[in-house]
Amino acid sequence: MEYSVPSHRASAYCVPQAQGMLCAAGKSRILLVVLCLAAAGLLCKSKWNLPDLYSQELRECNCPKCLTDGENDFKAQMDASPKPFLSIPSPTSEDDFNWWKNLQLEQRPFRFFNETVDKLLAIFPSSPPLERRSPDRCRTCAVVGNSGNLKGSRYGPLIDQHSIVIRMNRGHTKGYESDVGTKTTHHVMYPESAIHLDNSTRLVFFPFKINDLLWFLTWGCASHSKKPSYSDLRQVMIINPGFMKYAHEMWLKKRGRYPSTGFMTVVLSLQICDEVGLSIFGFGADRDGNWSHYFEILRNKKLRTGPHPGAQEYDVIRELNQKQIVRFFQGL
């Protein structure tokens, strides 16, 4: 005979079983919520702690410390910079042109300047061959001036360790390798300081007047017989006059008529290099107080820095060194 449980007893029997199942389901849900909260906490923690995978993605370079990680005042000064190089997307403003034309008493109008720049950018890169900062790369830089304090310094091997080595004007390495190194990735010059460059070196051209642009356009003009031996036009970078004005007003507070090529190169390096502590060599007077060049025999001990505020430029570089933004090697 089959045994059947009365309906009211069956209900009483099933209720505890159902309650147990519901309790088990509730515990599972609570456990799931706890796990979700824990995961969310770990995710938030990873976002708040530095350095972490999340924060590394936000950094602009892969150096131990990037120039863009600097203090707010320094970052504001950096962010105030116009685009350093002439390009179609970044033309020179008329206000910047009016400042620039007074450097060499330029008389021709803004329209003529723009026409000349358009001709240049039809030949040279319309956008400079400059790689942007990347979280996958750390570009170390050495800016090598031409001061006589480089003589006997033995800085050569140290200079050559940098991924970018910027030289300027008539500075050269042959015969001075132990003191100034052998590597050059970028060379800064203007018509009066032109030297021969090989095609592995990027030419950074500083124009101080419209005739400089015309000289560059035609590889020489009546007043300058020297022509740079340089055929890789893709590697040419032409400084924006607005950047020269920025260096004078933001970094030198308008002291002197205008900055030296060397000082503007230091300011430029802050824009194109990655690592805090970029290296600066060959600036300032030698140990006897002479503003001489390492590759020349000093004949005029009264030679100073002309229209450039050499002492103020030197002080700015020393201040950057004290703040550990640059490393200033002062030579002998």
- CA distance linking residue 240 with residue 263, whole number of Å: 15
Q: Cβ atoms within 10 A of the Cβ of 227, count? A: 14
Give the helix ranges, DSSP H, for 62-201: 72-79, 94-101, 110-123, 156-160, 177-180
Residues composing the chain: 332
The string of DSSP letters for 11-37 reads: HHHHHHHHHHHHHHHHHHHHHHHHHHH
- CA distance linking residue 249 with residue 321, whole number of Å: 20
Map 179-193 to HEC letters. HHCCCCCEEEECHHH
Bridge partners of 188, per DSSP, are: 168, 204
- CA distance linking residue 213 with residue 112, whole number of Å: 11
- CA distance linking residue 46 with residue 110, whole number of Å: 53
Kindly list the distances between the CA atom of residue 11 and the CA atoms of 5, 7, 17, 23, 205, in Å, as whole numbers in the listed order. 9, 6, 10, 18, 94
- CA distance linking residue 267 with residue 290, whole number of Å: 24
Q: Which of the residues are catalytic?
A: 258, 308
